[in-house]
Amino acid sequence: MKTLSKNNVTLNLIIQIILILIVNSIVFVAISKSIQIKFIVLTGITTLGLIWIYKRYKNTYNLFFNEKYLNLKNRKRERNINLKNIKKIKLTLSDMRIMGLQYYEYKIEFTNENGIFESIRFFISDMNSKLWEFQDLVKKNSSNIVIENKASS
């Protein structure tokens, strides 16, 4: 099994925590001067944010692959997607830099085990990426694959 994106869960958590902190900071400045109202509103926003993070955390996978399957793993579940079922690999407009490393977000669209169309997003760094090898394997296994390595809206 080769690693496509092993830090996907961690990177998604970082983004969500940063968003909650930004929203809390904006609300703290914007709300009236009453400290009690600020406390109640900020507690509510933080609680909703933590619920949102937990739901996203449960549904975020780290990605691995071999010659036949894309393997999606998280703490509770492991899924195998046949490379033949992958329809599209696309670079999205999202990227981020953490501690000097550039990360890019990709989206994979596929038909799941039940024949339902699904997609998954994952982050890869510009260092040690096996993305090109993965794309070559998918091209070999799927004749109608669409690969977009340029971000567009």
pLDDT of 153 higher than 90? no
What span, in angstroms and rounded, lies between the C-alpha atoms of 79 and 13? 21
Is the predicted pLDDT of residue 100 greater than 80, yes or no? no
CA distance linking residue 86 with residue 95, whole number of Å: 23
Of 1, 5, 2, nearest in space to 122 by CA = 5
Residue 74: CA count within 13 A, CB half-sphere:
16
Give the CA angle between residues 123, 130, 1 to the nearest 5°: 100
Q: Dump pLDDT digits (tens) for 25-34.
A: 888 888 777 7
Distance between CA atoms of residues 148 and 73, nearest Å: 24
* Residue 61 φ/ψ, nearest 5 degrees: -120, 150
Q: What is the DSSP letter of 150?
A: S
pLDDT band at residue 80 under the 50/70/90 scheme = very high
Residue 53 CB neighbour total at 10 angstroms: 17
CA distance 85 to 111: 5
Q: Give the global pTM.
A: 0.73
Q: What is the pLDDT of residue 6?
A: 72
For residue range 2-13, list pLDDT tens digits in order. 888 777 777 777
Q: What number is the average pLDDT over the span 32-60?
A: 82
Q: What is the DSSP string of 78-146?
A: EEEEEGGGEEEEEEEEEEEEETTEEEEEEEEEEE-TTS-EEEEEEEEESSS--HHHHHHHHHHH-TT-E
Do the Cβ atoms of 147 and 139 come closer than 8 Å?
Answer: yes
Of residues 100 and 108, which shows the higher confidence score?
108
